[in-house]
Amino acid sequence: MIPENLERGNFGSRFGFILAAAGSAIGLGNIWRFPYFAGEHGGGAFVLVYLVFVVLIGIPVILAELSIGRASQKNPVGAFRALAPGSAWPVVGLLGVTCAFAILAFYSVVAGWTLGYLYESLTGGLSGVTTAEKSEALFSGMIGSPLLPIGLTAAFMLLTVVVVRGGVSGGIERASKILMPVFFVLLVVLAVRSMTLPGGSEGLGFLFGFDWSKITVKVVISALGQALFSLSLGLGAMITYGSYLPRRENLWTSGATVAFFDTSIALLAGVIIFPALFAAGGDPAAGPGLVFVTMPTVFNALPGSTLVGVAFYSLLVIAALTSTISLLEVVVSYFIDERGWGRGAATWTLGSLCFLLAVPSALSQGAFASLSRDGLLGRDFLDVQNIVFGNYALSIGALFICLFVGWRWGIAAAAREIEHGGHLFSMKKAWSVLVRFVCPLAVLTILGFIIYTQDYF
Ligand code: PHE
C-alpha cells in the first residue's frame, strides 16, 4: 500500500496493489453514495448511464492516471511537472490535491456516522429498530446532535491520520487481504436476504428498470460524478498509487480488475438497499440518510441480527478507512515531495486542518439551521460540498487528465508505459479514441448543458 519509509517505496505484490487501489475505490462511494444518488435520480436510468460512464470514461481515465503516476513516480503535482516541464499543467495536479482535501472534509463526516452505527450495533441499539420511523428517528437523532457528529468525525480523522502517518503496508494491508473478501461475501448474503423480502422485487424493478424519460442533464452529470468518485478518479489518487507500482506490473489488467470489483460492489449495495426499502415502503429519494435508515431493517430480518450488524459496520468502517487513507495520502504526498515537509508533520497538520473544514458539514444535518437543507441552495452544506467537489471538480479533473494524456504527454508515451514489460494492451486503439475524443467531448458537453440550464444542484 503506501510505503513505510519516506523514500518512494513499491507495492510488494500485484495483489497488494490491486487491493490498495480497490481499497481506495471501494468505500462509502459504493455503499452510501451510489444508492442515494440512484434513488434521487430515478433508479434504472441513473444506473444505466453510470455503467456506460464506468466503461467509456472510468476505465480510460484509470489507465491514464496510473500511467502518469508510474511513468513519473511522483505525486499529482510533481507528476505533471515531470512529464511537462515548464508548463502550466501542474495546476491540474494542484486542483486534484485541493479536491482530495475538500472531499475528505465531508467524507470523514459520513465515515463518522458509520462509526456511530458500529457503536449502536455493538451496544444493541439497533435491535429495537423495527420500523422505518424508529430507524429514521435514530438516524436524525445521531447526525442532528451538535456534538456527537463532530466527535465521530474527529475520531475517524484520527484513525486516518494514524494509519497514513505510520505507513500501512503492515497491519492494514494484511488485514484487508482477509477482510475485503469477507465484506464481499457478507454483502452477497445481505443481497439475497433483501431480494427475498416480501415486496422486494419492486425494488429490483426500480434499480434496473430503464425509462428514457427519466434521463435529464442532472441525472447524467450525477452519473458521471458518481462513476469518477467511486473509482477514485479525477483528483490524482490513482496517479499517487500508480507511482508506487513496480514497472513490471500490468496496468491494463490491474485497472480493469479494480473497476470490475468497484462496480460489482456498488450494484450489490443497490440490490441490498432497494428491495429492503420498497418492502418497508420507504422513499428512494430520501437523500444521504437512505442507507443508514434502510440497513437496520435488513439486519432485523435475519437471524443473529446483532452479529450481522456488527460485522457490516466494522467492515464498512474499514472500507471507508482505506478510502480516506488514499485521500489524505494525495495531499500528504504533495506536501512531502513538493514542499519538503516531513511525513509526521504533514499528516498531523493536514489532518487537523481538514477536520476543521469538516465541522460545518458535521453541523449541517440539523444542529445548525443555516447550514441545513433549507439553506440557500435547497441542499445542506455537506451535500453542496459533495456535489461541487464529488461531481463537478472531479469531472473537470478527469477532463484535463484526458487532455493531458491525449494531447500533451501523448498517447504513444502513455501506451508505452502501459505496455512496459511486454504486456499486451489489446484495447490500445479504443483507449486512444476514448481518451483523446470521447471523454473530453462528453465531459464538455455535459458541463455545457449544466451551464446552459443553470441547474447546478
Ligand atoms: N472512491 C472512494 C469511495 O468510493 C472515494 C474516493 C474518491 C477516494 C476520490 C479517493 C478519491 O468511497
- Residues 417-441 pLDDT 10s: 999 988 888 899 999 999 999 999 9
| Distance in Å, CA 232 to ligand 1 centroid | 4
In one-letter notation, the amino acid at residue 159 is L
- Residues 89-106 pLDDT 10s: 999 999 999 999 999 999
- Residues 7-27 pLDDT 10s: 455 666 666 677 788 889 999
Calculate Rg over the CA atoms of the chain.
Answer: 21
| Distance in Å, CA 198 to ligand 1 centroid | 34
C-alpha to C-alpha distance for 245 and 3, rounded to whole angstroms: 11
C-alpha to C-alpha distance for 114 and 82, rounded to whole angstroms: 40
- Residues 253-307 pLDDT 10s: 999 999 999 999 999 999 999 999 998 888 999 889 999 999 998 888 888 889 9
pLDDT for residue 227:
98
Does 386 contact ligand 1 (Cβ within 6 A)? no
pLDDT for residue 14:
63
Does 230 contact ligand 1 (Cβ within 6 A)? yes
pTM value?
A: 0.94
Instruction: Please report, for residues 28, 61, 236, 336, 404, the alpha-carbon distance to residue 92 in angstroms, rounded to integers and kept in the order given.
Output: 25, 14, 9, 18, 9
| Distance in Å, CA 73 to ligand 1 centroid | 21
pLDDT for residue 12:
60
Q: Whose CA is nearest to atom 4 of ligand 1?
A: 29
* 131 phi-psi bin (left φ>0, alpha ψ -120 to 50, beta other): beta
* pLDDT range class, residue 5, cuts 50, 70, 90: very low
Does 226 contact ligand 1 (Cβ within 6 A)? no
- Residues 341-389 pLDDT 10s: 998 999 999 999 999 999 999 999 988 877 887 765 778 999 999 999 9
CA atoms within 13 A on the CB side of 69: 30
Cell triple for residue 308? 450481522
| Distance in Å, CA 13 to ligand 1 centroid | 22
Does 60 contact ligand 1 (Cβ within 6 A)? no
C-alpha to C-alpha distance for 183 and 348, rounded to whole angstroms: 30
Contact predicate 297/194, CB 8 Å: no
Q: What percent of the chain has pLDDT over 90?
A: 73
Does 235 contact ligand 1 (Cβ within 6 A)? yes
Q: What is the mean pLDDT of the chain?
A: 91
Which atom of ligand 1 has the smallest separation from the CA of 231?
Answer: 1
Which atom of ligand 1 has the smallest separation from the CA of 25?
Answer: 1
| Domains of the chain, earliest start first | 4-453 (1.10.4160)
| Distance in Å, CA 21 to ligand 1 centroid | 10
| Distance in Å, CA 301 to ligand 1 centroid | 30
pLDDT for residue 9:
52
* pLDDT range class, residue 175, cuts 50, 70, 90: low
Contact predicate 258/30, CB 8 Å: no
Q: Whose CA is nearest to atom 2 of ligand 1?
A: 25
pLDDT for residue 11:
63
